[in-house]
Amino acid sequence: MLNIVIKYHCCKETSSFMRLLNKNRSIFGPQSSIVGCNFLRYKGVCPPASSGPGAAKGSGPGKGAKHKITYQPYTAPPPTCHDFKNMSLNRPMSPHLTIFAPTLPAMTSIVQRITGMIITFYALLLSSGSLFLSNGVETYVSIIQSFDFSLPMVFIIKMMLGAPFVYHYFNGIRFVMWNAGKWLSIKEVYDSAKKSFVATAVLTLLFSII
């Protein structure tokens, strides 16, 4: 019964709890004041008793606490490079594309970079050819025409050569608008990507037919 009273009144003020113990001392017996003082000492209200019937076990000098906390001086971990730490923890390298699902904005960005490298290769090829080759461009065009490719083959070659130019141009407009703070909503990002694909296909077909 005393445990029920202690649990019920554990969150109330100390004075009211002590008055309750003194009032019901005849019910709980002479040990009620001792138990109440031990309870209050457990709650941090009364100072610990060094002797007497109300002294808690293990509270005197020389008695160790039930849960000990030991402190050790801080030692810095050994210095390791970033790559060695990631390899030891089996961390994947970033960006790790294999854990992400392919999305349309990501694929348009990747293709934009690929077409940029292709166009750069075209520019370097033409510039180095004009500098280091002895004959003019007309000579090499006539050599290519002498191969006498069929019309379907010429159409496919034109599409392969012209598609990187057209795609890089139309998709570059999207990047310019993004830098200007336009077309940044999810709907506009996907709509502009689809429109750039359609424009690339139409203009590449026109260039190939000519």
Using the 8-state DSSP alphabet, how is residue 99 labeled?
A: G
pLDDT band per the 50, 70, 90 thresholds, residue 1: very low
Residue 171, in any domain of the structure: yes
Highest-scoring range by mean pLDDT, 47-51, 61-65, 195-199:
195-199
Residue 145, in any domain of the structure: yes
Q: Which residue has the tokens 């854990």?
A: 99
Assign residue 116 the CATH number of its domain.
Answer: 1.20.1300.10
User: Does the pLDDT at position 52 exceed 80?
Assistant: no
Using the 8-state DSSP alphabet, how is residue 44 labeled?
A: T
Using the 8-state DSSP alphabet, how is residue 133 labeled?
A: -
Residue 87, in any domain of the structure: no
Whole-structure pTM value: 0.53
Q: Where are the alpha helices (DSSP H) in the chain?
A: 2-8, 14-23, 25-28, 31-42, 82-88, 104-132, 137-145, 151-179, 186-209
Extract the tokens encoding 42.
Answer: 């457990």
* Chain segment 77-119, per-residue pLDDT in tens: 888 888 888 888 888 777 667 777 888 999 999 999 999 999 9
Residue 16, in any domain of the structure: no
Residue 85, in any domain of the structure: no
Q: Which domain holds residue 196?
A: 108-209
Higher pLDDT, 80 or 181: 181
Position 126 scores a pLDDT of 86
Residue 3, in any domain of the structure: no
> What is the total count of domains within the chain?
1
Position 95 scores a pLDDT of 67
User: Does the pLDDT at position 55 exceed 80?
Assistant: no
As a whole number of angstroms, the distance between CA 108 and CA 193 comes to: 7
* Chain segment 152-179, per-residue pLDDT in tens: 999 999 999 999 999 999 999 999 999 9
Residue 132, in any domain of the structure: yes
pLDDT band per the 50, 70, 90 thresholds, residue 11: very low
As a whole number of angstroms, the distance between CA 139 and CA 55 comes to: 110
Residue 179, in any domain of the structure: yes
* Chain segment 134-148, per-residue pLDDT in tens: 777 788 888 888 988
